[in-house]
Amino acid sequence: MMKNKIFKNSIATAILLFTVAGFSQNKSSNTVSLDVFYSKIQSEKKPQIIDARGPEEFALNHINGAINFNLESKDYAAQVAKLDKSKPVFTYSIGAGRSVWLADDLLKKGFKEAYSLEGGIANWIGNGKPFYANSKSKLTLAEYKKIIAENKDVLVDIGSIYCGACKKVKPVLETIKAQYGSNLKIVEIDLEDSPQVIADLKTVKVFPTLILYKDGKIVFKKEGLGDLKNDVDVALAVK
């Protein structure tokens, strides 16, 4: 399938995934918060912003002004050569994996400054920063609010089809659906389909983000899967 295309049949991919796994355990010192990342970009006349995701992901949505290349790019070295080593480089990915690798690699190559965005594109769009999307969101904020208002219990799953952690949520949601049926409304929002509603909510920092509403009020908001099934059972058991 297209969403897995860039992660198959490549020795470089295996190296990348190993490296990303390492960074997920040890946060790079070059990973900065959204506020710092945004502030530094704003201070540059022509900021060097690099989207470290795959080309399919980049085509669907990206930070305004960003260009796309990463370890998988055939012309990686040529792309790096076009950058100004004396100026900061700002990298991001779906979270902070591929972008961490890229920022660190640029520093090794002699760049003065390179920063990776904590939370990646999820954090950027999820907090309403300016971005490009190639299509209109399928779900609007007004429609979202209507769903919350018209259903007693609502579980919202916000993520991306390119997010590995988000894929682990899906079978858990199926188990929850089977147990609660029509008593629990489940809403799945993907970045690729509805980026604007994610931006309008201004509550997402990472993918996946899971929110449980009861009578229009938030019962819990989880960043990451955790023990979702148990958390839902406990929350809905409360009278």
Which residues are identified as catalytic? 163, 166
Query: Could you give the C-alpha distances from 145 to 152, 187, 215, in angstroms and in order?
Result: 13, 12, 12
Beta strands 153-159 and 209-214: pairing type? antiparallel
* Total residue count of the chain as it appears in this document: 239
55, 68 contact by CB (below 8 A): yes
Bond into 208 cis (ω within 30): yes
Token representation of residue 227: 């023990």
d(CA 160, CA 223): 14
CA distances from 110 to 26, 80, 84, 209, 238 (A): 22, 11, 10, 36, 57
Look at residue 150 and give its three-state secondary structure. helix
